[in-house]
Structure 1
């Protein structure tokens, strides 16, 4: 049976992030071209669900992707510094916050977890084990030893919080041994630290001090019996590395202590052969066994994403008020958040690079129009084409009573007339647009703008940025529908926007 490893997942997560920068992060988007991926988070679905308390699960189909575009409202670009590899958040927990006040038993790092050699928690894989913690100062540590012994085969509770940034192994008073990995800066805590995940970073001093294939821990798997009492120094660690040495202590004929005195380097496997220890009593002593824990190939702390399991990427972005000159309207709600990669500019095959985009259609009316359309209402416009009357139909996303811009969408339900059975007809020309709920009716200002493609309007000597380019009273979306690839969809309950509101969006993708 073939196996797709976790290392592939980590590799893919790293590639996903690096593709947002391209080969040269200093290049402009124009120079980077298709060598740099453009990732956008989008919001959509202003209309209600059939059951507002139970949004439907998204479907992985081309129809779903088209539907996502049809009622999409806005997009915001995700830059490389808006992403980071993350791992499960595992807090160091004070004993008084644990059951019985005894403390929590953390797993220890081992290179050889399997179905037959499980962690203290029962995990059969390293990345499923609780072998690292973040302390109250946002310092991250890897548990090198948790007190595992023949008398405590699952380790002991941790009662002393690890602290400090020494590049050497830190031993706390409870017998735990920790390796400091890195500290999460305040800015990264605010941006990428959540209830479930925390960022993977690195400390340059720790990286520089790492020794590949070093042995930091040996474990007494079995104490045996019948050995000669005493302390046995400089016991070699056999294997493919060099320089590894341990000290053994025998008391009452049993091995009671095994300590690394020289970690050596270059090991990918190692063993301590008890019967070869001079004077320990080979032939009379039996059953003693000491297991060797091998550090990562590059050493502890050299590559935290690989060592801690960084096969997830967190994306963080904020929707700030009506940013993008109204690209993100504040007078409606949304029920879908998603990600699309490499969408095109409207009407072209050119990758878009704008920081914000409007995905809606729009129509503009005369500044003297005094009526008011309502968000979410159905609008229609009838006209004659080739001697036959047709009706355009859509649903209002946003109405700006100052600029007289109405944003709307047309999908396969709200965009066809007659409803369900008709065709989708575009709004165009000067015939009145009528609101089904508000009763508002107005002729589009087909004489605006004087110069096609204008995106500003002067009303009472004040210039307004419309955020969209108008021609003959209408504006197309700023993104080409159905371009790029929709890679993430999250259907949710209604999220209401407001003019003084900022939404902090965190999305975690697991590879």
Structure 2
């Protein structure tokens, strides 16, 4: 049987997602990962592959996850596509009846929410187009807009170019800085409750008619010329009236003089006041509650923008290493704290392993980022990892281990140390040691795990260096419990190399 998922379900889903981020029972994180993208595909940076959506890929995402940043309720906002006002453009008007058989005249959209029926002006004010000059003389396609709407009137304003614009809201400067993009406009999260928007909400009248469109006058013939006032608007609402102007027996203009209230359908009852027939009109029904009552519903806010800033300013919790690359970003819902069943709630978290090293070469070696580190942990058993970053002052190394170190490579070569993925340890078995062989830019160096060290930081020459992870006997585990939570967004991209003075502003659009 024919069925559809309605636009209103999509708008509701966006609202529910926003509410889910705001509740303390959920915890959302953006993350960066995949430090070895070009090992997976040599042309990754020029031919970035689409993400794969299956459980196998989810496991790999966790294994290559570098760091995660908490998403707070102030980091999420509803957005709509950006339609900027420009002179000479024919904008579409709000209509309640666009459908597959009544497409919007400029974008040929069967849905209101895909039509260009609202604008953002140069002062970051948002307006809905109530009327665009449409009539039979322009084939009901509208006329060019020549006057930018700038008013903040509570009632719709007729501009000199024939357009009628209804002011809805102004984007706050802080939201412009944080959420503005080339393609999307943000909507205030508190529109329905904020005093800033209360005047617009309070003047909205449910079912108030703002405009009546003349659709066709080709066969119209009426025994009247001039303006006929007090023409009733019939339907299920009350008190609606309009004035109709005639020229040569044909209607040329309709002005709503009393919009009435509570209309869900309407008919201009011209027959009751004028003799004649042949004209066709459309009474445009406003959104539920009236224009400005609920902009999420009125503008079709079925998208959410998630903002996350990654920077190196948190010296006491440096979870985002520098000098490495990442080629994947994403979102995880409700990850757990490592080795617990507790929800992760910290402002940021590390997804990689760490080693505190000791030995003569620790202060002089130049490690090869993405190079191997190995440890013989017992007879015939070797742990293998890949270097994320290394600080020769604090002697702290971050590394990750994924399936690439214990599976055949892309050309079928077997892994050097077998198919078992072994973890590094401060307590090796018989035949093993705490020695770590590190790949450097000039070869290899042998150092050791500092098994005497436990802590979150170290002090050298009166300066404290924080690791961002708890080390026990020289080893640090990821702060995120691997394979916990739900991965709800994946984005592959060309590699980005992180630098000390660099920050990344990540803006993710989720469409429902």
Match in the other structure for 1:43:
32
Asked if the contact 1:105/1:120 (under 8 Å) is kept, the reply is no
Q: Could you list the runs of 5+ residues in structure 2 that have no partner in the other structure? A: 192-196, 408-413, 427-432
Alignment of 1:315 with 2:306, yes or no, is yes
SS at match of 1:365: strand
Instruction: Specify every segment of 5 or more residues in structure 1 that has no aligned partner in the other structure, as ranges.
Output: 23-31, 95-102
Q: Distance in 2 between matches of 1:105 and 1:419?
A: 66
Q: TM-score, normalised by structure 1?
A: 0.91
Query: Would the aligned equivalents of 1:332 and 1:375 in 2 still touch at CA under 8 Å?
Result: yes
Where 1:439 maps in the other structure, the secondary structure is strand
SS of residue matched to 1:443: strand
Distance verdict in 2 for CA 1:420–1:229, change over 3 Å:
farther
2: CA distance, partners of 1:334 / 1:322: 19
1:250 paired residue among 246, 249, 259 = 246
Report deviation, 1:460. 3.0
Give the superposition deviation at 1:456. Answer: 1.4
Deviation at 1:61, TM superposition (A): 0.4
Counterpart residue number, 2:453? 448
Cα 1:229–1:415 change in 2 (3 A) is same
Aligned CA RMSD, in angstroms, stands at 1.5
Do the aligned partners of 2:381 and 2:417 also contact (CA within 8 Å) in 1?
no
Structure 2 equivalent of residue 337 of structure 1? 329
Provide the rounded CA distance (Å) in 2 between the counterparts of 1:237 and 1:506.
Answer: 47
What secondary structure, in the 3-state scheme, does the structure 2 residue paired with 1:436 have? strand
Per-residue deviation, 1:205: 1.1
| Residue 29 of structure 1: aligned partner | none
1:178-223 deviations in whole A, cap 9, x for unaligned?
Answer: 0000000111111111000010133221011111110000011122
- How far is the alpha carbon of 1:371 from its aligned partner? 3.9
Residue of structure 2 equivalent to 1:117? 102
What corresponds to 1:374 in structure 2? Answer: 368
Deviations 1:438-475 (A, max 9, x none): 412101001112xxxx2111223332221110111100
Map 1:13-28; keep pairs closer than 5 Å. 13-22=14-23
Q: Which residue in 1 is equivalent to 2:422? A: 425
Which of 225-234 and 492-501 deviates more? 225-234
Matched residue, 2:430? none
5 Å matches for 1:408-423?
Answer: 408-414=399-405, 418-419=415-416, 421-423=418-420
- Rounded to whole Å, the distance in 1 between the matches of 2:36 and 2:417 is 16
Measure, in 1, the Cα distance between the counterparts of 2:124 and 2:35. Answer: 39
Task: Output aligned runs, 1:389-400, within 5 Å.
Answer: 389-400=380-391
- The partner residue of 2:208 within 199, 208, 214 is 214
Deviation at 1:410, TM superposition (A): 0.5
- Equivalent position of 2:492 in the other structure: 491
* Displacement after TM superposition at 1:431 (Å): 2.1
Distance, in Å, in 2 between the alignment partners of 1:337 and 1:123 is 33
Listed one character per residue, the Cα deviations across residues 29-77 of structure 1 (whole Å, up to 9, x for unaligned) are xxx4xxx211000000111321131121111101111111101110000
8 Å CA contact retained: 2:63, 2:401: yes
In 2, distance between residues paired with 1:414 and 1:318?
Answer: 31
The alignment partner of 1:424 has SS state of: coil
Distance apart, 1:389 and its partner CA: 1.9
Say which is worse superposed, 126-135 or 197-206, in terms of deviation: 197-206
**Deviation of the 1:322 alpha carbon:** 5.7
Alignment: residue pair count: 479
> Aligned partners of 1:427 and 1:322: how far apart in 2?
30
Of residues 332-341 and 422-431 in structure 1, the stretch that sits farther from structure 2 once superposed is: 422-431
Distance in 2 (alpha carbons) for counterparts of 1:431 and 1:176: 77
Of 435-444 and 229-238, deviating more is 435-444
Task: Give the equivalent residue in structure 2 for 1:75.
Answer: 68
CA shift digits 1:463-490 (9 cap, x unpaired): 2221110111100000000100000000
Counterpart residue number, 2:89: 104
More moved, 426-435 vs 366-375: 366-375
Equivalent pair of 1:371/1:440 in contact (CA under 8 Å): no
Q: Residue 241 of structure 1 contacts residue 267 of structure 1 at CA under 8 Å; is this kept in 2?
A: yes
Q: 2:349 matched to 1:357?
A: yes
- Alignment partner of 1:260 is 2:256: yes
- Cα–Cα, structure 1 residues 10 and 113, in superposed 2: closer, same or farther, change >3 Å? same
Q: Deviations over 1:351-372 (max 9, x none)?
A: 0100010100011112763342
TM-score, structure 2 as length reference: 0.91
Aligned partners of 1:398 and 1:464: how far apart in 2? 15
Structure 1 residue 420 displacement after superposition: 8.8
Determine the structure 2 residue equivalent to 1:192.
179
Structure 1 residues 243, 206: closer, same or farther in 2, change over 3 A? Answer: same
